[in-house]
Amino acid sequence: MFVYADNAATTSVSKTALDAMMPYLTTNYGNPSSLYSFAQEVTEDVAKARADIAACIGATPREIYFTSGGSEADNQAIISAAKAGEKKGKKHIISTKFEHHAVLHTLNKLKKEGWDVTLLDVHEDGVVRLEDLEKAIREDTCLVTIMFANNEIGTVQPIKEIGALCRSKGIPFHTDAVQAAGHMAIDVNDMNIDMLSLSGHKFHAPKGIGALYVKRSIPLFNLIEGGAQERGKRGGTENVAGIVAMAAALKESCSQMEENTAKIIPMRDKLFAELSKIPHSKINGSLEHHVPGTVNMCFEGIEGESLLLMLDAYGICASSGSACTSGSLDPSHVLLSIGLPHEVAHGSLRLSIGEYNTMEEIDHIIEVVPQVVEKLRNMSPVWDELQKGQRPHII
């Protein structure tokens, strides 16, 4: 049995998205910047896609800028706000320790260029505290960037309250909503969001297309110079097929959100309930404030990498840490940020399921994971020491 349980890394392209994009890869190949009517139809379709995406998050079409994905949207939002802050003599940015690397590495770059960056602690439940944010705010804070939902542990932040606090202090607020868009209801006005990043391939559109929402009153600077596309804020011929597919996928995900959530939650709950019967296992973060599909657990005494390889042999695609850090032997910065000791953070498993998964697949995972954990523990010198009482159990 093949089970794809890594939807937080990427998703399959839906039939709706594929059907929507096909004409632009075949017959409707005009460049939206061209003046003849053959291309002008494409221009209109891009405008319609922009309006559809705006409507899904409660924005206006003028506030949507297409990018190459979530990473570029994060980079542009942060660098733009940093530059706007610098003009006013403000060079302090607040974020959290468990952001995606698209955010953390951009902040590192700014730090080297003289910005001061405060990274808030994330508590054991994987949720940032408002008091911590309030204490960190300074006169010279020019940006707060806090992710909507975490990509490794799935925890959701109090975005509306964070936005309200930032607005009361006159500080722009950006959120990386790549894991939330298409999976949770988002209203940028109601939630006091000034900038928001999303990425198509996390909700069944193709890879390489994303969008940045920027509230009208917020200045936006270019990352990519070029033509006058995206109202002069992002040069480069539009990825028309990607844009149209992303709009179709987001529209579908948003219109089916309730049904999808109702389908995913029982699968996730069963997964968690059964896997937590494994002795010395623990959920990372909490399931209380959470995206529907992601479960991240750790199992003491084993290596996450070996677990993944063995699951692969049973046809199960899962992940430990994020796709971007796998391949390196460092434990995930997200798991360390919620206080997991290194040795436990190494033994973690992220299963991220979506509406295309079935209960039969969940049953397969539930059957395989306990066997594999036991097998690995039997081979593990660390587990042996734990069993003999030569080292204390942490979980």
Ligand X SMILES: *Cc1c(COP(=O)(O)O)cnc(C)c1O
In the complex, the smallest distance separating the C-beta of residue 137 from ligand X, rounded to whole angstroms, is 23
Q: Which of 75, 95, 157, 179 binds ligand X (CB under 6 A)?
A: 179
Within 8 A by CB and 6+ apart from 385, the residues are 391
If one asks whether residue 210 binds ligand X (CB under 6 A), the answer comes out as yes
State in angstroms the smallest separation of the CB of 331 from ligand X: 18
Distance CA 122, CA 134 (A): 14
Q: How far is the CB of 17 from ligand X (least distance, A)?
A: 15
Q: Exactly one of 107, 110, 156, 178 binds ligand X (CB under 6 A); which one?
A: 178
Dihedral angle sign, alpha carbons of residues 349, 280, 276, 181: negative
Q: Considering only residues 293 through 352, tell me which ones interact with ligand X, judged by CB under 6 A.
A: none
Touching ligand X, residues 68-127 (CB under 6 A): 69-71, 74, 100, 102
Instruction: State in angstroms the smallest separation of the CB of 66 from ligand X.
Output: 12
5 binds ligand X (CB under 6 A): no
Shortest distance in whole angstroms from residue 190 CB to ligand X: 21
Q: Which residues, numbered 359-388, are part of the site for ligand X (CB under 6 A)?
A: none
**φ, ψ of residue 352 in degrees (nearest 5):** -125, 115
Q: Rounded to whole angstroms, how far apart are CA atoms 220 and 200?
A: 21
Q: How many residues bind ligand X (CB under 6 A)?
A: 15
324 is catalytic: yes
DSSP SS3 for 78: helix
Q: Which helix (H) or strand (E) element contains residue 137?
A: none
Nearest-approach distance from CB 152 to ligand X, in angstroms: 9
Parallel/antiparallel/unpaired status of strands 195-199 and 210-214 = antiparallel
**Among the residue ranges 66-74, 238-246, 302-310, 313-321, the one whose residues contact ligand X (CB under 6 A):** 66-74
Instruction: Name the catalytic one among 56, 254, 317, 324.
Output: 324
CA 237, 242, 246: angle at the middle one, nearest 5?
130
Nearer to ligand X, 10 or 306 (CB): 10
Check if the beta carbon of residue 320 is closer than 8 Å to that of residue 349: yes
**How many degrees, rounded to 5, is the angle at CA 368 between CA 362 and CA 371?**
145
Helix H or strand E encompassing 105: helix 101-112
Q: Binding ligand X by CB under 6 A: which of 176, 194, 230, 361?
A: 176
Buried b (16+ CB within 10 A) or exposed e, 343-352: ebbbbbbbbb
Return the number of the residue (212 or 302) whose C-beta is nearest ligand X: 212
Q: How far is CA 383 from the centre of its chain?
A: 33
* For the chain, counts of helices (H) and of strands (E): 13, 12
Tell me which residue has tokens 């320790």. Answer: 97
Region 124-153 residues binding ligand X, contact defined as CB under 6 A: 147, 151
Place of tokens 């204490």: 135
Q: Considering the rule CB under 6 A, would residue 285 count as an interface residue with ligand X?
A: no
| Binding residues among 215-254 for ligand X as defined by CB under 6 A | none
- x-or-dash string of contact with ligand X, 186-205, rule CB under 6 A: -------------x-xx---
- Catalytic (active-site) positions: 324
| Residues in contact with ligand X by the rule CB under 6 A | 69-71, 74, 100, 102, 147, 151, 176, 178-179, 199, 201-202, 210
